[in-house]
A = this chain, B = another copy of it.
């Protein structure tokens, strides 16, 4: 009897990897060989393009940055089709904007859009903080502390850029610890945009100090499993950044 009738099919559709059926019947655990090995050109092009865009420091200049389908296809050594599919996805994620018969352009977020993104991030992360107080393990929360072990004292001033990255990772970790995939996925795009803006954001020493203090308070609230307090702290921390951007980030626009 063919055990691979309909039951595994449902699973294979839901499972992301789903190439186990390729190997011989070898009655080992089928989970032994989820050999992914299926990064299509589309995904490769998507990843390559996204990396390129993120690494671009687009806020340095104000000139429009255009992406040429045909040229990119040549550079990648593939045809236009997968490049186009990658572009379409990047467009739906807000990284590029395609103008018919004109070209594809890298998107620069306006100051107001940045504020909106930070506000949305505040919404997601504050909910995530609630969930963390309810479901995360003590070890997971403890890992949050370690992220700041290297940033005590005055080392911060010398490594503001590094801190900026650790800062983003801290918040991203909280969202991941929530275990809510919808939250995680929604936040991922926001954080990617944040990383792009980060370079252009002027970080002052005292803001960093306050940021670290906020983070410590957040960690304490999470450890104490203080759901409401953690939520408020996380939200206000993010909204504080939004206000800061609103006041001082006139270099956007």
A10 to B63, CA, bound (A): 9
Q: Which residue of B lies closest to A105 (CB)?
A: B13
Chain B residues with CB under 8 A of A119? 127, 131, 180, 182-183
From B2, B85, B116, B123, A181 is in contact (CB under 8 Å) with: B116
> Are B116 and A183 in contact, with the CB atoms below 8 A?
yes
Given contacts A116-B182, A123-B183, A131-B119, contact A6 B62 (CB under 8 A): yes
Residue numbers in B under 8 Å from A105 (CB-CB):
13
Stoichiometry, copies per complex: 2
Which residues of chain B have C-beta atoms less than 8 A from A6's C-beta?
Answer: 62-64
Q: From residue A95, how far is it (CB to closest CB) to chain B in Å?
A: 12
Establish whether residues B9 and A107, one from each chain, have CB atoms under 8 Å apart when the complex forms. no
Closest to A112 in B: B181
A117 CA / B180 CA spacing, docked (Å): 9
Q: Give Cα A17–Cα B93 distance, bound, in whole angstroms.
A: 17
Shortest distance from the beta carbon of A181 to any chain B beta carbon, whole Å: 6
A18 cross-chain contacts in B, Cβ below 8 A: 97, 99-100
Given contacts A13-B99, A120-B124, 7 further A-B contacts (CB under 8 A): A13-B102, A18-B97, A89-B89, A119-B131, A119-B180, A122-B127, A126-B127
